[in-house]
Amino acid sequence: MSQSVSLYAPVIEAIIQRIRIAEDAIERVEADTANSLALGWCEIAVLQVRMICELLLLGATAAHLHEGEVAVSDTSWRPKVVFQELSKVNEHPLPIPVEIHFNEDGPTPHHVTPISKPMDFQNLSKIYGICGDLLHVPSVRQVLTNRMPAFDLGQISGWISGFRRLMMAHVLMLPERQVILLFWWSGTTEDAPQGFRLDAEGPSTLNVDALPEFNLF
């Protein structure tokens, strides 16, 4: 396993763990919506979503720091600042969901096809902000005007489903070094995600203009 993969893999494993925790919390709510603890389970699910947003940026930062050898801070942790730094060196610094066509003669990936544009930072930032509003104590103004944020279980489930799909097969492009990181996961609790470093013969970029948006809303 290359060092870049060994750095990125623990982040992917952490995201998958957060997905499983969120799914368990959502199942508990759906099974007993009248339970007095349902609010706590909703908060647990939202906390996992917020941490997934942070982990996605952490993984991209770690990969670019190792492979890209670019000026990305290893101490700053404001999401907007981190993304701005990554965007200076990579047009698409976040993971791109793909479909993997496996070689019929074995488990080695034969062909990888992107199924949408990369994850959009604006969507990721919006989700991060919504989660923050749900997890923090509301302001006095929100209380007085009866505008306190409410949990939307369908929306939360949709976010988790989108993150799960991304973890099941995605690539992280590192064009400044002509490197692609490929990860896939079976989706089961028994299997760990698998990752590979692919060295591109030419620029490691993709034309995603004609692909649909990766939209979690």
Q: Quick: pLDDT tens for 98-155.
A: 998 876 666 665 688 899 988 888 889 899 999 999 998 767 776 666 666 789 999 9
In angstroms, the CA 63 to CA 138 distance is: 36
Segments making up each domain of the chain, as ranges: 3-199
Per-residue model confidence (pLDDT) at position 53? 93
Phi, psi of 175 (to 5 degrees): -65, -25
The single residue listed with the structure tokens 């942790």 is 77
- pTM of the shown model: 0.86
- SS3 of residue 113 by DSSP: strand
CA distance 217 to 183: 24
Q: What is the DSSP string of 73-98?
A: -SS---HHHHHHHHHTT-SS-S-EEE
Distance of CA 14 to the CA centre of its chain: 11
pLDDT in tens, 161-198: 999 999 999 998 886 667 889 999 999 988 999 998 88
